[in-house]
Structures are given as C-alpha cells and as structure tokens.
Amino acid sequence: MIAVAGGKGGSGKTTTTLGLARALSRRGAPVIAADADWDLPNLARLAAETAAGSAPTGSRSRASKEGARTVLDAARGDERVRLDRSEPTVLAAPDAPRSVDANAALDGLDGATPDAAPVLLDCPAGASPDVAAPLRAADRALIATPLRRAALRDAAKTAAIARRLDCPPVGAVVIGETNVPDRVATLLGCPVLGEIPDGGAAPLSDSKVRSAYDDLARRLGGTAAATGWKVA
C-alpha cells in the first residue's frame, strides 16, 4: 500500500491518487484507490466527475458505483473488491467515519487486497492526527506538494512523520511545475518521481497532465514499492 500524503489541503493528493491510479491501470495493473481522508472525502466524487473525460462511454456510471463501495465494506468483506485492469477500483470513505476504527479498517483493507494489486491511499492533509492511520497501514509514502516554500516545509514535515511511522517516502510528486530544482529532493529526503504540469481547473482532462502521470507510474514501477505488482 502506498499512502499519497502532503503538507496541507490543496497540495494535489487526491488528484495525484486518481491520476496515478489511472496511469497504472493504463499499464495493465488492477489498481485500488481508497479514500483515507474521512473528514473531507472527495476521491470518489472526483472519480465520478472526471470519468466521462478520461474513459469510455458508460464509465461515469461505473465510477459512481465504485464510489458507493467503501473502504469499510472492502475491509470487512461485505462486498468483494472488484479488480479491473482497465480502470481503477475506487473506494469511498465510510458513511459514518467517526464510528469506525481507522487503523483496523485500513489494516483490514490491506489484508483484503492481493499483493499484485497496487493500493493507493488518499491521505488527510498535513500533520493532523488522522494522517497516522493510513501512514501506519501503508508500506511507503508518496509525497505530493506544490513548489512553494511554505508547502515544501509542510511536505518535509509530513515526510518526517511518515518515516517515524515506518512508512518511508518512496518519492515525491511536484504539482504544477515541470522544472524542479535538485534541492527539493534533498529537502524531502527522497527522489522526485513526478513533475506534473499545471492542468488548469480540470487537470485530469489535460493530455500533458495525463502523460506526466504515465511517466510517474513508469518511474514508480521501477522502485522497491512496486515489488510484486502486475504492471506492464
């Protein structure tokens, strides 16, 4: 499992989770993208809203159905997680998150998914207490950040928290830029695996953004985090 984490809200975590999941699907991987930001869940909504522009006709309704399937459903085995190599399986936040033990649910999700399937967790923002559960459950973190001084400082703090929770960052994704200084990798203590251009109001519909996530998927596939994945 890979936790897509970042410093603050708006750093690009949800877009990166979905953009990377779709890129891995284009490489033939049976991907699961799960919303672990239960106070501000929007992964399933973004998947449904952007499906028509990124997948074949009829996928909007499939994305909506995937959004109705929650992390808790999958962890409990209430409904079998459908793995599809043509598009990611998107798991929404539980309907009543405050009544759910996040640590147990995410551990259960890990046990309910095959090792060959990449699982991406869309994390809460920054250093909030809620970010600990997905970081504990995941094997590695992927740090998403804009190229702004304050955002980079917060991203470095998040990377440090991930290491303390035994979830070392496999790399970073810089959002809104295509020319990233070498010092960013030094600051975050991990390589920059992705440079995602500014795609405007609908980044996942932009061909350059899509290509950048394809490149990120390729680079991630060459790391230790991808050991055992069925990726072309």
pLDDT digits (tens, 9 = 90+) for 135-176: 999 999 999 999 999 999 999 999 999 999 999 999 999 999
Q: What is the pLDDT of residue 17?
A: 97
Q: For 27-148, where are the alpha helices, taking DSSP H only?
A: 43-54, 59-68, 71-76, 102-112, 132-137
Has residue 227 been placed in a domain? Answer: no
Per-residue model confidence (pLDDT) at position 51: 83
Query: Would you state the pLDDT for residue 231?
Result: 80
Whether 161 maps to a domain, the answer reads yes
User: Residue 109 and residue 55: Cα distance in Å, rounded?
Assistant: 26
For 95, the domain range is 2-222
Domain assignment present for residue 204? The answer is yes
Within a domain: 31: yes
User: Is residue 54 in a domain?
Assistant: yes
Nearest to 131 by CA among 171, 96, 173, 164: 164
State how far the Cα of 113 lies from the Cα of 139, in Å rounded to an integer: 14
Instruction: Report which secondary-structure segment, H or E, holds 35.
Output: strand 32-35
> What does the pLDDT read at residue 79?
63
Which among 92, 116, 104, 87 is positioned nearest to 34, based on CA atoms?
Answer: 92
Tally of domains within the chain:
1
**Whether pTM exceeds 0.75:** yes
Task: Check residue 25 and give its pLDDT.
Answer: 95
- Find the CATH number of the domain harbouring 53: 3.40.50.300
Query: What was the pLDDT predicted at 128?
Result: 74
Question: Rounded mean pLDDT of the chain?
Answer: 89
Pick out the chain residues at pLDDT < 70.
52-68, 78-80, 232
Q: Which residue has the tokens 């909030």?
A: 128
What pLDDT is attached to residue 220?
96
pLDDT on residue 57: 38
Task: Say if 229 falls within a structural domain.
Answer: no
